[in-house]
Structure formats: C-alpha cells, structure tokens
Homo-oligomer: A and B are copies of this chain.
C-alpha cells in the first residue's frame, strides 16, 4: 500500500462508491491479472505452450478423470479450441485420454506423471506470487479479496467455481 484505496464508507446501510473508487478497482484488476499470469507464462514460453495449456492442465489436475464436456463448460471455450490444446498435450504425453466405462462416448482426462510435473511447476510459480500477496495484505484482506471476486463472477461460472471446491466430478 503506497497510496492505497480509501476505504469506502458505509452510510445508512448502503455502500457509497465514487466513480474514482470503481475505476481504481477496474485498473487494479487489469494490472493484477497481468502479474497473476506473468510467472507461469514465462515457464510456458520455454516449452512453447500457452495460457490455454496451463488452464487445461490446471482443471484436469483439479478434477482427475473429468470429461471433455465438463472441461469445456468450465473453461468456457468451444470444443474446437479446446481440442487443439488437448491434442498437443496428449501427443506430448502430458495428458491421458481414456474411453469411459459406463459411457463409451466419453473420454476421461487424467494427467500423466510428466503432466503432473508441469502442472505443479506452473501452479507453484503462480502460488508463490499469490502467497506473497496474501502475506503482504493480511488475513482480513484475503477474505475480502475472495468475497469480491466471487461476487464478480457470472452466476453460471460461479457454479463451476463452487463445484470444484466440493470435489465432485464423474
């Protein structure tokens, strides 16, 4: 905090928000997201992968055995777009693609050891910055951070976010 955001005041139960405060939040999101992706991007560039590969690895790690359709809905891209990424990951031996048992149309996606290694390298790079930011900001700030982010999500996306924590998937 060098200059810091002035704390919005709560008058008569309704939060008073100036344009300045809102604009500052918008710019904070822009600049912070750049920092958020910077570290994994450097690792990915070495291996000539992109952010899309990172996202796929992350969510496959998070929900091992997930199906293509599940991943599609979580990532919010078209199957053609995801397929391009998945194909290279499978060819390179980072992701396993297994035909479903109950439903043979489905393909279950899992990380191989190599895939888990890369995912973990990317995840660590990102987590390091996140941890440092959390520690700088303090416990209460972290709680507020997540609360605002959750309130900012599209309701449909928020469901995916919450499902991940529940740990379903099949």
CB distance from A72 to the nearest CB of B (A): 14
Interface residues of A in 152-167 (CB under 8 A from B): 152-154, 157-158, 160-162, 164-166
B149 and A145 within 8 A (CB): yes
Name the residue of chain B whose CB is nearest to the CB of A155. B35
Q: Which A residues contact B (CB, under 8 angstroms)? A: 1-5, 7-10, 14-15, 17, 19, 21-36, 38, 55, 58, 62, 76, 123, 126-127, 129-154, 157-158, 160-162, 164-166
Would you list 26 pairs from A and B whose C-beta atoms are within 8 A, ordered by A residue?
A3-B162, A5-B142, A7-B142, A8-B143, A10-B138, A15-B135, A15-B139, A22-B130, A22-B131, A24-B165, A25-B130, A25-B134, A26-B130, A27-B62, A27-B161, A28-B153, A29-B33, A31-B158, A31-B160, A34-B76, A137-B144, A140-B140, A141-B147, A142-B144, A144-B147, A145-B145
